[in-house]
Amino acid sequence: MLSVDLPQSNSSPQLSSTNRILVVEDEELIRQMLVLSLEEEGYEVVTAPDGRTALSLLQEAEGNDKIFPFNLIVLDLMLPQLNGLDLCRLLRYQGNLVPILILSAKASETDRVLGLEVGADDYLTKPFSMREFIARCRALLRRQRFSSLPQTPVLQLRDINLYPQECRVTVRGEEVNLSPKEFKLLELFMGYPRRVWSREQLIDQVWGPDFLGDTKTVDVHIRWLREKLEKDPSQPEYLITVRGFGYRFG
């Protein structure tokens, strides 16, 4: 049985994240609980009760630019029609690199190793807590997000240049000193110009899911960044507050 350990809900409004997750699980009760927890985190969730349905949903998303691709697959192993290991193997064979989190009642070492060998990224043994499940999902999404950031030597927006590999930033041609957290925040903003980020999403991306402080930390760092980047920090042109949601860049 799953232990019911739902993550704390956030009090401020949740943005619908662009992350789409496919949950492949044949046991309805478990499937519903997974969906509930993921939706509470603001993710968009699509479900499949068996391997074949999952495969056709994935192929549909691949071949259609009107449907966003999935950012993560949560995959049970014991499934009707096409089992989880075979589905995983097939996707990797087809060159699909979407992160896969395997859920399984099988706890033996060989199953775990086999799951990872066929190309899964992580493995969670039932029963598990919802808190741990969400933390694993976040970690996989975060890894993917950062690895998909453009590998350009410089991110440039108006008169700000950020050199990811050199951890260096210039504003209007002048070098500015940023703390590691300020740098990560700015890198994230510049990697996704005009995207609105909630404070919770920024905490997640920059501080990590284990961060225990509150979201005011984000506001404090934004203020510091504004002082270093903006011509007039009280009239920001780069780090814009989006009331009721969070922040965006530019």
Binding site for Ca ion (CB under 5 A): 26, 76, 78
Residues contacting residue 247 through CB under 8 Å, at least 6 positions apart:
189, 196, 197, 199, 202, 218, 222, 239, 240, 241
- The CB-of-102 to Ca ion minimum distance in angstroms stands at 11
- The CB-of-159 to Ca ion minimum distance in angstroms stands at 55
CB burial class (10 A; 0-12, 13-18, 19+) of residue 202? buried
In which element (H, E) is residue 45 found? strand 44-48
Beta carbon nearer to Ca ion, 80 or 213: 80
- The CB-of-62 to Ca ion minimum distance in angstroms stands at 25
Beta carbon nearer to Ca ion, 26 or 44: 26
Q: Which of 215, 163, 208 is nearest to 190 (CA)?
A: 163
C-alpha to C-alpha distance for 127 and 140, rounded to whole angstroms: 20
C-alpha to C-alpha distance for 141 and 157, rounded to whole angstroms: 25
Beta carbon nearer to Ca ion, 13 or 80: 80
* Per-residue DSSP letter, 165: G
Tokens 């996707």 sit on residue? 91
Beta carbon nearer to Ca ion, 46 or 78: 78
Strand bridging mode 197-198 / 246-249: antiparallel
- The CB-of-25 to Ca ion minimum distance in angstroms stands at 6
- The CB-of-109 to Ca ion minimum distance in angstroms stands at 20
Structure tokens at 221: 């760092």
Beta carbon nearer to Ca ion, 26 or 230: 26
- The CB-of-80 to Ca ion minimum distance in angstroms stands at 8
Beta carbon nearer to Ca ion, 28 or 132: 28
* Per-residue DSSP letter, 53: H
Beta carbon nearer to Ca ion, 126 or 181: 126
Strands of the sheet containing 174-176, edge to edge, are 155-157, 160-163, 168-171, 174-176
* Number of residue whose CB is nearest Ca ion: 78
Tokens 């700000």 sit on residue? 160
- The CB-of-83 to Ca ion minimum distance in angstroms stands at 9
